[in-house]
Chain A
Amino acid sequence: MDHEATCELLELAALEPGGLDRLMAGDTVAAQAVAGHLAGCPSCSDELARLSIASTFIRADLRELPAPELRDRTLATVRAMGVSRGQLPSSDASTPTVVVGGPSGRPRLGWIATIAAAIALSVVATSLVVGQRSEDQVATQAGTMAVLEDVIQATVAITSRSDVQRVSLVGTTDSTLEGSVAFSPSSTQLIVVATGLKTPPAGQEYRFWVQINGARKRVEKMVVGPNLAYWVGPSSAISRVSERAAFGVSLVDINRQGAATDPVLIGGL
Protein backbone atom coordinates (compact mmCIF):
# COMPACT_ATOMS: atom_id res chain seq x y z
CA MET A 1 0.00 0.00 0.00
CA ASP A 2 1.42 3.40 -1.01
CA HIS A 3 1.16 6.84 0.58
CA GLU A 4 -1.85 7.96 -1.43
CA ALA A 5 -3.91 4.86 -0.74
CA THR A 6 -3.00 5.00 2.94
CA CYS A 7 -3.97 8.67 3.24
CA GLU A 8 -7.28 8.06 1.50
CA LEU A 9 -8.17 5.27 3.91
CA LEU A 10 -7.13 7.36 6.88
CA GLU A 11 -9.21 10.33 5.74
CA LEU A 12 -12.28 8.25 5.08
CA ALA A 13 -11.90 6.58 8.47
CA ALA A 14 -11.56 9.98 10.15
CA LEU A 15 -14.96 10.96 8.77
CA GLU A 16 -16.79 8.22 10.64
CA PRO A 17 -17.32 8.01 14.40
CA GLY A 18 -14.54 5.86 15.83
CA GLY A 19 -13.36 5.19 12.30
CA LEU A 20 -9.68 5.75 12.96
CA ASP A 21 -9.79 3.53 16.03
CA ARG A 22 -11.44 0.77 14.05
CA LEU A 23 -8.88 1.13 11.28
CA MET A 24 -6.03 0.99 13.77
CA ALA A 25 -7.50 -2.12 15.36
CA GLY A 26 -6.25 -3.89 12.25
CA ASP A 27 -8.98 -6.50 12.02
CA THR A 28 -9.57 -6.18 8.28
CA VAL A 29 -7.31 -6.78 5.32
CA ALA A 30 -7.24 -3.06 4.50
CA ALA A 31 -6.51 -2.16 8.10
CA GLN A 32 -3.64 -4.63 8.22
CA ALA A 33 -2.23 -3.14 5.03
CA VAL A 34 -2.47 0.37 6.53
CA ALA A 35 -0.79 -0.79 9.72
CA GLY A 36 1.99 -2.37 7.71
CA HIS A 37 2.55 0.84 5.77
CA LEU A 38 2.47 3.03 8.87
CA ALA A 39 5.06 0.86 10.59
CA GLY A 40 7.65 1.82 8.00
CA CYS A 41 6.52 5.30 7.08
CA PRO A 42 7.09 8.13 9.58
CA SER A 43 5.42 10.74 7.38
CA CYS A 44 2.17 8.79 7.16
CA SER A 45 2.33 8.13 10.91
CA ASP A 46 2.62 11.87 11.45
CA GLU A 47 -0.27 12.42 9.08
CA LEU A 48 -2.35 9.98 11.11
CA ALA A 49 -1.60 11.92 14.30
CA ARG A 50 -2.48 15.27 12.71
CA LEU A 51 -5.62 13.85 11.14
CA SER A 52 -6.75 12.39 14.43
CA ILE A 53 -6.37 15.72 16.23
CA ALA A 54 -7.96 17.76 13.45
CA SER A 55 -10.96 15.48 13.09
CA THR A 56 -11.47 15.56 16.86
CA PHE A 57 -11.52 19.37 16.84
CA ILE A 58 -13.76 19.56 13.79
CA ARG A 59 -16.19 16.92 15.00
CA ALA A 60 -16.52 18.52 18.43
CA ASP A 61 -17.11 21.94 16.93
CA LEU A 62 -19.63 20.85 14.30
CA ARG A 63 -21.53 18.82 16.88
CA GLU A 64 -22.22 22.06 18.75
CA LEU A 65 -23.72 23.71 15.68
CA PRO A 66 -27.47 23.40 15.07
CA ALA A 67 -28.49 21.64 11.88
CA PRO A 68 -29.44 24.13 9.14
CA GLU A 69 -32.97 22.72 8.85
CA LEU A 70 -33.65 23.49 12.52
CA ARG A 71 -34.21 27.13 11.53
CA ASP A 72 -37.27 26.31 9.40
CA ARG A 73 -38.59 23.88 11.99
CA THR A 74 -38.26 26.42 14.77
CA LEU A 75 -39.94 29.20 12.78
CA ALA A 76 -42.75 26.80 11.80
CA THR A 77 -43.22 25.84 15.43
CA VAL A 78 -43.53 29.47 16.45
CA ARG A 79 -45.98 30.17 13.63
CA ALA A 80 -48.13 27.21 14.60
CA MET A 81 -48.00 27.53 18.37
CA GLY A 82 -47.05 31.09 19.10
CA VAL A 83 -49.46 33.60 20.50
CA SER A 84 -51.25 35.73 17.96
CA ARG A 85 -49.61 39.10 17.44
CA GLY A 86 -50.16 41.89 14.96
CA GLN A 87 -48.64 40.29 11.87
CA LEU A 88 -45.83 42.13 10.16
CA PRO A 89 -44.50 40.64 6.93
CA SER A 90 -41.75 38.06 6.91
CA SER A 91 -38.52 38.87 5.10
CA ASP A 92 -39.10 35.88 2.89
CA ALA A 93 -42.27 36.22 0.85
CA SER A 94 -42.14 32.55 -0.09
CA THR A 95 -42.17 31.43 3.51
CA PRO A 96 -45.52 29.83 4.30
CA THR A 97 -47.43 31.54 7.06
CA VAL A 98 -50.01 30.09 9.34
CA VAL A 99 -53.52 30.64 8.08
CA VAL A 100 -55.69 31.28 11.08
CA GLY A 101 -58.89 29.59 10.09
CA GLY A 102 -58.45 26.41 8.11
CA PRO A 103 -60.74 24.75 5.59
CA SER A 104 -63.16 23.80 8.31
CA GLY A 105 -63.43 27.41 9.38
CA ARG A 106 -62.12 26.63 12.84
CA PRO A 107 -59.22 28.79 13.96
CA ARG A 108 -56.08 26.77 13.55
CA LEU A 109 -54.52 28.05 16.70
CA GLY A 110 -57.62 27.49 18.77
CA TRP A 111 -57.33 23.79 19.23
CA ILE A 112 -53.58 23.89 19.59
CA ALA A 113 -54.30 26.29 22.41
CA THR A 114 -56.27 23.48 24.01
CA ILE A 115 -53.10 21.46 24.24
CA ALA A 116 -51.13 24.47 25.38
CA ALA A 117 -53.64 25.00 28.17
CA ALA A 118 -53.16 21.41 29.28
CA ILE A 119 -49.42 21.95 29.36
CA ALA A 120 -49.92 25.11 31.37
CA LEU A 121 -51.87 23.07 33.91
CA SER A 122 -49.04 20.59 34.09
CA VAL A 123 -46.56 23.40 34.62
CA VAL A 124 -48.60 24.74 37.49
CA ALA A 125 -48.86 21.28 38.96
CA THR A 126 -45.13 20.84 38.61
CA SER A 127 -44.48 24.12 40.39
CA LEU A 128 -46.66 23.06 43.27
CA VAL A 129 -44.97 19.72 43.53
CA VAL A 130 -41.54 21.34 43.40
CA GLY A 131 -42.64 23.38 46.37
CA GLN A 132 -43.24 20.12 48.21
CA ARG A 133 -39.80 18.83 47.12
CA SER A 134 -41.12 15.50 45.85
CA GLU A 135 -38.57 14.50 43.25
CA ASP A 136 -40.52 11.47 42.03
CA GLN A 137 -43.60 13.57 41.45
CA VAL A 138 -41.52 16.20 39.71
CA ALA A 139 -40.18 13.52 37.40
CA THR A 140 -43.70 12.22 36.77
CA GLN A 141 -44.95 15.69 35.94
CA ALA A 142 -41.96 16.37 33.76
CA GLY A 143 -42.73 13.14 31.96
CA THR A 144 -46.30 14.27 31.44
CA MET A 145 -45.05 17.51 29.99
CA ALA A 146 -42.72 15.67 27.67
CA VAL A 147 -45.64 13.55 26.42
CA LEU A 148 -47.70 16.65 25.83
CA GLU A 149 -44.85 18.26 23.99
CA ASP A 150 -44.56 15.18 21.81
CA VAL A 151 -48.25 15.54 21.04
CA ILE A 152 -47.64 19.12 20.04
CA GLN A 153 -44.78 18.15 17.79
CA ALA A 154 -47.01 15.60 16.08
CA THR A 155 -49.66 18.28 15.79
CA VAL A 156 -47.27 20.66 14.12
CA ALA A 157 -46.11 17.94 11.76
CA ILE A 158 -49.66 17.06 10.70
CA THR A 159 -51.01 20.59 10.51
CA SER A 160 -48.10 21.68 8.35
CA ARG A 161 -49.17 19.27 5.60
CA SER A 162 -51.04 20.82 2.69
CA ASP A 163 -53.96 18.37 2.82
CA VAL A 164 -54.61 18.69 6.55
CA GLN A 165 -58.27 18.57 7.60
CA ARG A 166 -59.65 19.44 11.01
CA VAL A 167 -62.75 18.43 12.87
CA SER A 168 -64.14 19.82 16.10
CA LEU A 169 -65.58 17.39 18.60
CA VAL A 170 -68.28 18.38 21.07
CA GLY A 171 -69.69 16.58 24.07
CA THR A 172 -72.97 14.76 23.40
CA THR A 173 -74.23 14.98 26.96
CA ASP A 174 -71.62 17.10 28.72
CA SER A 175 -70.98 20.55 27.29
CA THR A 176 -67.65 20.82 29.10
CA LEU A 177 -66.21 18.07 26.93
CA GLU A 178 -64.52 19.14 23.74
CA GLY A 179 -61.92 17.87 21.39
CA SER A 180 -60.28 18.23 18.04
CA VAL A 181 -59.08 15.99 15.27
CA ALA A 182 -56.48 16.81 12.64
CA PHE A 183 -55.45 14.42 9.92
CA SER A 184 -53.68 14.22 6.63
CA PRO A 185 -55.32 11.75 4.19
CA SER A 186 -52.19 11.46 2.06
CA SER A 187 -49.97 10.50 4.98
CA THR A 188 -52.77 8.80 6.99
CA GLN A 189 -51.36 10.54 10.07
CA LEU A 190 -53.96 11.55 12.60
CA ILE A 191 -54.12 13.21 15.97
CA VAL A 192 -57.09 13.52 18.26
CA VAL A 193 -57.12 15.40 21.54
CA ALA A 194 -59.89 15.90 24.06
CA THR A 195 -60.26 17.77 27.31
CA GLY A 196 -62.72 17.09 30.08
CA LEU A 197 -62.74 13.31 29.83
CA LYS A 198 -62.61 11.69 33.22
CA THR A 199 -60.59 8.56 33.90
CA PRO A 200 -62.71 5.68 32.56
CA PRO A 201 -64.25 3.23 35.05
CA ALA A 202 -62.43 -0.05 35.60
CA GLY A 203 -62.92 -2.39 32.67
CA GLN A 204 -63.70 0.39 30.21
CA GLU A 205 -61.75 2.65 27.89
CA TYR A 206 -62.34 5.53 25.51
CA ARG A 207 -62.02 4.61 21.84
CA PHE A 208 -61.75 6.99 18.95
CA TRP A 209 -63.59 5.98 15.79
CA VAL A 210 -64.34 7.13 12.25
CA GLN A 211 -67.69 6.44 10.60
CA ILE A 212 -67.79 6.31 6.81
CA ASN A 213 -70.99 5.49 4.86
CA GLY A 214 -72.61 4.29 8.05
CA ALA A 215 -69.82 1.90 8.96
CA ARG A 216 -67.95 2.72 12.13
CA LYS A 217 -64.27 1.83 12.26
CA ARG A 218 -62.45 1.84 15.55
CA VAL A 219 -59.16 3.66 15.29
CA GLU A 220 -57.54 3.30 18.68
CA LYS A 221 -57.83 3.57 22.42
CA MET A 222 -57.42 7.09 23.77
CA VAL A 223 -54.60 7.72 26.21
CA VAL A 224 -56.16 9.55 29.14
CA GLY A 225 -53.92 11.88 31.12
CA PRO A 226 -54.74 14.21 34.00
CA ASN A 227 -55.52 17.14 31.72
CA LEU A 228 -55.67 15.74 28.25
CA ALA A 229 -56.77 12.62 26.43
CA TYR A 230 -55.19 11.97 23.08
CA TRP A 231 -54.17 9.56 20.43
CA VAL A 232 -51.69 10.11 17.62
CA GLY A 233 -50.52 7.83 14.87
CA PRO A 234 -51.35 6.44 11.43
CA SER A 235 -54.80 5.19 10.50
CA SER A 236 -55.65 3.70 7.12
CA ALA A 237 -59.30 4.69 7.65
CA ILE A 238 -58.34 8.33 7.20
CA SER A 239 -57.32 7.84 3.59
CA ARG A 240 -60.94 7.01 2.69
CA VAL A 241 -62.63 9.83 4.53
CA SER A 242 -65.43 11.56 2.62
CA GLU A 243 -67.48 14.66 3.30
CA ARG A 244 -70.09 12.64 5.15
CA ALA A 245 -67.63 11.07 7.56
CA ALA A 246 -68.27 11.35 11.27
CA PHE A 247 -65.75 11.16 14.07
CA GLY A 248 -66.28 10.35 17.69
CA VAL A 249 -65.13 8.97 21.00
CA SER A 250 -67.08 6.28 22.85
CA LEU A 251 -66.70 4.64 26.22
CA VAL A 252 -66.45 0.90 25.57
CA ASP A 253 -65.91 -2.26 27.61
CA ILE A 254 -62.31 -3.37 27.26
CA ASN A 255 -63.34 -6.89 26.25
CA ARG A 256 -65.69 -5.70 23.58
CA GLN A 257 -64.69 -5.32 19.90
CA GLY A 258 -65.20 -2.12 17.93
CA ALA A 259 -66.70 1.09 19.26
CA ALA A 260 -70.42 0.65 18.67
CA THR A 261 -71.70 2.51 21.71
CA ASP A 262 -73.16 5.97 22.07
CA PRO A 263 -70.43 8.57 21.66
CA VAL A 264 -69.39 10.96 24.40
CA LEU A 265 -67.76 13.22 21.82
CA ILE A 266 -68.80 13.62 18.20
CA GLY A 267 -68.03 15.77 15.17
CA GLY A 268 -68.08 15.80 11.40
CA LEU A 269 -66.45 17.40 8.39
Chain B
Amino acid sequence: MVRGPQGQIDDAILVQELVRGSETALEALYDRHAAGVFAQAYRLTSDRGIAEEVVQDAFLRLWNRAESFDPSKGSLAAWLYAVAHNRSIDRLRAARRRPDLVAPGFAAGSGADSAEATDRLGSGGIVVGGAAPTPGPEEAATAAARSDAIRTALAALPDVERTVILLAYQAELSQVEIAERLGWPLGTVKTRTRRALLRLREALGAEYMPGGEFEAVPASAGVDR
Protein backbone atom coordinates (compact mmCIF):
# COMPACT_ATOMS: atom_id res chain seq x y z
CA MET B 1 0.00 0.00 0.00
CA VAL B 2 1.41 3.40 -1.03
CA ARG B 3 1.19 5.97 1.73
CA GLY B 4 1.79 9.67 1.75
CA PRO B 5 3.95 11.80 4.03
CA GLN B 6 1.42 11.67 6.86
CA GLY B 7 0.91 7.94 6.53
CA GLN B 8 -2.22 8.42 4.46
CA ILE B 9 -3.06 6.00 1.71
CA ASP B 10 -2.23 7.60 -1.61
CA ASP B 11 -5.16 9.15 -3.47
CA ALA B 12 -4.42 7.08 -6.56
CA ILE B 13 -4.73 3.88 -4.55
CA LEU B 14 -8.02 5.01 -3.10
CA VAL B 15 -9.32 5.81 -6.57
CA GLN B 16 -8.40 2.29 -7.66
CA GLU B 17 -10.37 0.96 -4.71
CA LEU B 18 -13.23 3.24 -5.65
CA VAL B 19 -13.26 1.78 -9.17
CA ARG B 20 -13.79 -1.61 -7.53
CA GLY B 21 -16.80 -0.21 -5.72
CA SER B 22 -15.32 0.59 -2.32
CA GLU B 23 -17.50 3.03 -0.39
CA THR B 24 -14.78 3.14 2.24
CA ALA B 25 -12.46 4.66 -0.36
CA LEU B 26 -15.13 7.17 -1.33
CA GLU B 27 -15.59 8.15 2.31
CA ALA B 28 -11.85 8.57 2.76
CA LEU B 29 -11.58 10.73 -0.34
CA TYR B 30 -14.55 12.81 0.78
CA ASP B 31 -12.98 13.37 4.19
CA ARG B 32 -9.73 14.38 2.53
CA HIS B 33 -10.98 16.67 -0.21
CA ALA B 34 -14.56 17.81 0.45
CA ALA B 35 -13.54 20.87 2.44
CA GLY B 36 -11.30 22.06 -0.37
CA VAL B 37 -13.92 21.45 -3.04
CA PHE B 38 -16.54 23.24 -0.97
CA ALA B 39 -14.24 26.21 -0.32
CA GLN B 40 -13.43 26.46 -4.03
CA ALA B 41 -17.10 26.52 -4.98
CA TYR B 42 -18.04 28.90 -2.18
CA ARG B 43 -15.33 31.39 -3.16
CA LEU B 44 -16.64 31.41 -6.72
CA THR B 45 -20.32 31.61 -5.90
CA SER B 46 -20.61 33.07 -2.38
CA ASP B 47 -23.56 30.73 -2.02
CA ARG B 48 -23.39 27.84 0.44
CA GLY B 49 -26.36 26.08 -1.19
CA ILE B 50 -24.70 26.07 -4.58
CA ALA B 51 -21.38 25.05 -3.05
CA GLU B 52 -23.05 22.06 -1.40
CA GLU B 53 -24.57 21.01 -4.71
CA VAL B 54 -21.19 21.33 -6.36
CA VAL B 55 -19.64 19.05 -3.73
CA GLN B 56 -22.27 16.42 -4.42
CA ASP B 57 -21.76 16.78 -8.17
CA ALA B 58 -17.99 16.49 -7.84
CA PHE B 59 -18.03 13.31 -5.79
CA LEU B 60 -20.76 11.76 -7.93
CA ARG B 61 -18.61 12.51 -10.95
CA LEU B 62 -15.58 11.03 -9.22
CA TRP B 63 -17.53 7.85 -8.53
CA ASN B 64 -18.92 7.62 -12.04
CA ARG B 65 -15.72 8.54 -13.87
CA ALA B 66 -13.00 7.31 -11.56
CA GLU B 67 -11.37 5.44 -14.43
CA SER B 68 -10.68 8.71 -16.20
CA PHE B 69 -8.47 9.99 -13.39
CA ASP B 70 -4.82 9.67 -14.40
CA PRO B 71 -2.44 10.43 -11.51
CA SER B 72 0.42 11.00 -13.95
CA LYS B 73 -1.39 14.07 -15.29
CA GLY B 74 -2.13 15.76 -12.00
CA SER B 75 -3.33 15.36 -8.46
CA LEU B 76 -6.80 14.24 -7.52
CA ALA B 77 -7.27 17.54 -5.70
CA ALA B 78 -6.65 19.40 -8.97
CA TRP B 79 -9.06 17.07 -10.78
CA LEU B 80 -11.77 17.69 -8.19
CA TYR B 81 -11.16 21.44 -8.12
CA ALA B 82 -11.50 21.61 -11.89
CA VAL B 83 -14.82 19.81 -11.64
CA ALA B 84 -15.89 22.16 -8.86
CA HIS B 85 -14.91 25.19 -10.92
CA ASN B 86 -16.86 24.04 -13.96
CA ARG B 87 -19.92 23.02 -12.01
CA SER B 88 -19.91 26.32 -10.12
CA ILE B 89 -19.98 28.20 -13.41
CA ASP B 90 -22.76 25.94 -14.71
CA ARG B 91 -24.80 26.58 -11.60
CA LEU B 92 -24.29 30.32 -11.81
CA ARG B 93 -25.28 30.30 -15.47
CA ALA B 94 -28.39 28.32 -14.61
CA ALA B 95 -29.22 30.96 -12.03
CA ARG B 96 -28.27 33.64 -14.59
CA ARG B 97 -25.83 35.14 -12.15
CA ARG B 98 -22.40 36.57 -12.72
CA PRO B 99 -19.61 34.83 -10.85
CA ASP B 100 -18.14 36.74 -7.97
CA LEU B 101 -14.89 38.53 -8.55
CA VAL B 102 -12.09 36.12 -7.85
CA ALA B 103 -8.46 36.98 -7.32
CA PRO B 104 -6.12 34.75 -9.35
CA GLY B 105 -4.49 33.32 -6.24
CA PHE B 106 -7.80 31.90 -5.06
CA ALA B 107 -8.40 30.10 -8.31
CA ALA B 108 -4.83 28.97 -8.76
CA GLY B 109 -4.69 26.82 -5.64
CA SER B 110 -1.40 25.36 -4.59
CA GLY B 111 1.08 24.59 -7.29
CA ALA B 112 -0.44 26.75 -10.04
CA ASP B 113 0.68 30.20 -11.07
CA SER B 114 -1.50 33.25 -11.43
CA ALA B 115 -1.14 33.49 -15.20
CA GLU B 116 -2.40 29.96 -15.64
CA ALA B 117 -5.25 30.64 -13.26
CA THR B 118 -6.13 33.84 -15.12
CA ASP B 119 -6.28 31.92 -18.38
CA ARG B 120 -8.55 29.31 -16.88
CA LEU B 121 -10.81 31.88 -15.32
CA GLY B 122 -10.95 33.89 -18.51
CA SER B 123 -12.00 30.86 -20.49
CA GLY B 124 -14.68 30.20 -17.91
CA GLY B 125 -16.10 33.68 -18.14
CA ILE B 126 -14.91 34.79 -14.71
CA VAL B 127 -14.14 38.46 -14.19
CA VAL B 128 -10.74 38.87 -12.63
CA GLY B 129 -9.74 42.45 -13.22
CA GLY B 130 -11.80 44.07 -10.50
CA ALA B 131 -11.03 41.53 -7.83
CA ALA B 132 -9.08 42.38 -4.73
CA PRO B 133 -5.38 41.73 -5.18
CA THR B 134 -4.04 38.34 -4.25
CA PRO B 135 -2.43 38.41 -0.80
CA GLY B 136 1.34 38.18 -0.70
CA PRO B 137 3.06 34.99 0.41
CA GLU B 138 3.51 36.12 4.00
CA GLU B 139 -0.09 37.26 4.30
CA ALA B 140 -1.34 34.08 2.67
CA ALA B 141 0.73 31.94 5.03
CA THR B 142 -0.61 33.83 8.03
CA ALA B 143 -4.17 33.42 6.79
CA ALA B 144 -3.63 29.69 6.27
CA ALA B 145 -2.16 29.26 9.73
CA ARG B 146 -5.00 31.28 11.23
CA SER B 147 -7.49 29.10 9.43
CA ASP B 148 -5.77 25.96 10.70
CA ALA B 149 -5.89 27.30 14.24
CA ILE B 150 -9.61 28.01 14.00
CA ARG B 151 -10.40 24.62 12.49
CA THR B 152 -8.31 22.76 15.03
CA ALA B 153 -10.08 24.60 17.84
CA LEU B 154 -13.44 23.90 16.21
CA ALA B 155 -12.67 20.18 16.06
CA ALA B 156 -11.71 20.23 19.73
CA LEU B 157 -14.95 21.86 20.88
CA PRO B 158 -17.49 19.76 22.73
CA ASP B 159 -20.20 18.60 20.32
CA VAL B 160 -22.87 20.88 21.77
CA GLU B 161 -20.66 23.94 21.40
CA ARG B 162 -19.57 23.01 17.87
CA THR B 163 -23.21 22.54 16.89
CA VAL B 164 -24.31 25.97 18.08
CA ILE B 165 -21.34 27.88 16.72
CA LEU B 166 -21.82 26.29 13.29
CA LEU B 167 -25.51 27.14 13.34
CA ALA B 168 -24.62 30.71 14.25
CA TYR B 169 -21.79 31.28 11.79
CA GLN B 170 -22.52 28.82 8.97
CA ALA B 171 -26.31 28.75 8.92
CA GLU B 172 -26.47 32.34 10.20
CA LEU B 173 -29.26 31.56 12.61
CA SER B 174 -30.06 33.90 15.46
CA GLN B 175 -29.85 32.69 19.05
CA VAL B 176 -33.63 32.39 19.16
CA GLU B 177 -33.68 30.38 15.92
CA ILE B 178 -30.97 28.05 17.22
CA ALA B 179 -32.96 27.50 20.40
CA GLU B 180 -36.06 26.66 18.37
CA ARG B 181 -34.23 24.31 16.05
CA LEU B 182 -32.46 22.40 18.79
CA GLY B 183 -35.24 22.58 21.34
CA TRP B 184 -32.87 24.01 23.91
CA PRO B 185 -33.63 26.85 26.34
CA LEU B 186 -32.48 30.19 24.98
CA GLY B 187 -30.21 30.66 27.98
CA THR B 188 -28.43 27.40 27.25
CA VAL B 189 -27.91 28.42 23.64
CA LYS B 190 -26.47 31.77 24.68
CA THR B 191 -24.13 30.18 27.20
CA ARG B 192 -22.86 27.58 24.77
CA THR B 193 -22.38 29.91 21.84
CA ARG B 194 -20.53 32.46 23.98
CA ARG B 195 -18.30 29.74 25.37
CA ALA B 196 -17.60 28.38 21.90
CA LEU B 197 -16.76 31.86 20.64
CA LEU B 198 -14.39 32.40 23.55
CA ARG B 199 -12.57 29.15 22.80
CA LEU B 200 -12.20 30.00 19.12
CA ARG B 201 -10.94 33.48 20.01
CA GLU B 202 -8.47 31.89 22.37
CA ALA B 203 -7.25 29.71 19.51
CA LEU B 204 -6.62 32.82 17.44
CA GLY B 205 -4.61 34.24 20.32
CA ALA B 206 -2.21 37.11 19.93
CA GLU B 207 -0.39 35.46 17.06
CA TYR B 208 -3.18 35.89 14.52
CA MET B 209 -4.93 38.88 16.06
CA PRO B 210 -3.86 42.47 16.04
CA GLY B 211 -4.24 44.14 19.41
CA GLY B 212 -3.16 41.70 22.06
CA GLU B 213 -3.86 38.42 23.75
CA PHE B 214 -7.05 36.93 25.05
CA GLU B 215 -7.45 35.50 28.46
CA ALA B 216 -7.73 31.74 28.68
CA VAL B 217 -11.27 30.47 28.97
CA PRO B 218 -11.88 29.59 32.60
CA ALA B 219 -13.28 26.15 33.22
CA SER B 220 -16.30 27.74 34.83
CA ALA B 221 -17.02 30.05 31.92
CA GLY B 222 -20.74 29.96 31.49
CA VAL B 223 -23.03 27.54 33.22
CA ASP B 224 -25.52 25.47 31.29
CA ARG B 225 -29.03 26.35 32.23
Contacts and interface: CB of A to CB of B under 8 A. Distances in A.
A65 B146 contact: no
Nearest to A8: B194
A82 B86 CA distance: 20
A55 B197 contact: yes
B27 A65 contact: no
Nearest to B53: A149
Nearest to A51: B201
Interface stretch (B5-13, B72-80, B167-175): B167-175
A14 interface: yes
B181 interface: no
Chain A interface, >50% SS class:
helix
B201 A54 contact: yes
Given A62-B170, A146-B91, A16 B175 contact: yes
B24 A89 contact: yes
Interface in A48-95: 49-51, 53-55, 57-59, 61-68, 70-71, 73-75, 77-79, 81-83, 85-92, 95
A86 B21 contact: yes
B42 A63 contact: yes
A64 B38 contact: yes
Nearest to B95: A146
Given A15-B175, A63-B42, A88-B21, A58 B197 contact: yes
Interface in A1-30: 8, 11-12, 14-17
A17 B172 CA distance: 6
B183 interface: no
A67 B17 contact: no
A142 B21 contact: no
A92 B60 CA distance: 19
Contacts of A97: 23
B20 A88 contact: yes
B200 A50 contact: no
Given A14-B197, A64-B39, A86 B20 contact: yes
A138 interface: yes
Interface stretch (B108-116, B126-134, B206-214): B206-214
A192 B63 CA distance: 26
Contact of B59 (A61, A68, A74, A145): A74
Contact of A64 (B42, B93, B168): B42
Contacts of A55: 197
Contacts of B147: 61
B48 interface: yes
Contacts of A89: 23-24
Contact of B48 (A12, A53, A63, A81): A63
A59 B42 CA distance: 14
B26 interface: yes
Contacts of B48: 63, 67
A200 interface: no
B34 A58 contact: no
8 contacts: A12-B175, A12-B194, A17-B172, A63-B42, A70-B38, A86-B21, A88-B20, A88-B24
Interface of B: 17-27, 30-31, 34-35, 38-39, 42-43, 48, 51-53, 55-56, 59-60, 63-64, 90-91, 93-96, 146-147, 150-151, 154, 165-166, 168-172, 174-175, 190, 193-194, 197-198, 200-201, 204, 208-212, 214
Given A17-B172, A62-B165, A142-B94, 19 more contacts: A50-B212, A58-B201, A62-B154, A64-B38, A66-B38, A70-B38, A70-B55, A73-B52, A74-B55, A74-B60, A77-B56, A85-B21, A88-B20, A88-B21, A88-B25, A91-B27, A143-B94, A145-B94, A149-B53
